[in-house]
A and B are shown apart, each in its own frame.
Chain A
Amino acid sequence: MDDLFAPSDVSWTPVSPQLASVRRVSAAITAGVFGIAALLALGMTLGWLYGVLGLVVIAAVFVWSWVLIGRNQRSWKYAEREDELMVSHGILFRELVVVPYGRMQFVDVAAGPLERAFGIATVELHTATPATDAKIPGLHPDEAARLRDRLSALGQAQAWGL
Chain B
Amino acid sequence: MTEPAPVPPAQPPVVEQMGARLHPLTPFVKGWGYFVVAAFALVNNEGLRSNLEVAGIGLAGVLVGGILLGALSWWFTKWQLTEDAIRVDSGFLFRRTRIIRFDRIQAIDVAQPFVARLFGMAELRMDVAGGGKSDGKLSYFKYAEAGQLRTILLVRAKGEQVAQQQDQEQQNEAPPLLVVPTNRLLGATLLSSTVLGSAGALIWLIVATMVLDFHIGLFAGLPLLLGVVQPIWKQVVGNHGFTLSQTDHGLRTKRGLFDVQRQTIPPGRVQGLLITEPLIWRLLGWSRVELDIAGVAGGQEDGESGNEGAQLLPVGERGEVAAVLARVLPGFNLDAIDLQRAPERAKWLRPIGWRYLAYGADEQVFVTTAGWISRRTSIVLHHKTQSVRLAQGPIQRRLNLANVHIDTPQGPTNAVALHRSAEEAAWLTQAQAHQARQARQAIESTRPDQS
Contacts and interface: CB of A to CB of B under 8 A. Distances in A.
A99 B394 CA distance: 24
Contact of A96 (B390, B397, B437): B390
A83 B402 contact: no
Contacts of B271: 162
A103 B294 CA distance: 14
Interface residues of B, number: 39
Interface stretch (B5-13, B29-37, B114-122, B404-412): B404-412
A97 interface: yes
A5 B2 contact: no
Nearest to B404: A96
A95 B391 contact: yes
Interface string A92-131: 1111111110110110000000000000000000011111
A134 interface: yes
Contacts of A154: none
A160 B408 CA distance: 13
Given A97-B389, A162-B294, A131 B407 contact: yes
A98 B388 contact: yes
Contacts of B405: 131
A98 B426 CA distance: 11
Interface stretch (B65-73, B314-322, B336-344, B428-436): B428-436
Contact of B450 (A97, A100, A130, A161): A161
A92 B393 contact: yes
B451 interface: yes
A84 B402 CA distance: 21
B104 interface: no
B165 to A, nearest CB: 22
A84 B433 contact: yes
B148 interface: no
B349 to A, nearest CB: 14
B2 A127 contact: no
B427 to A, nearest CB: 9
A30 interface: no
Contacts of B436: 100
Contacts of A47: none
A92 B393 CA distance: 6
B386 interface: yes
Interface of A: 4-5, 7, 83-84, 92-100, 102-103, 105-106, 127-134, 159-162
8 contacts: A92-B393, A94-B391, A96-B389, A97-B387, A97-B388, A100-B387, A100-B440, A128-B294
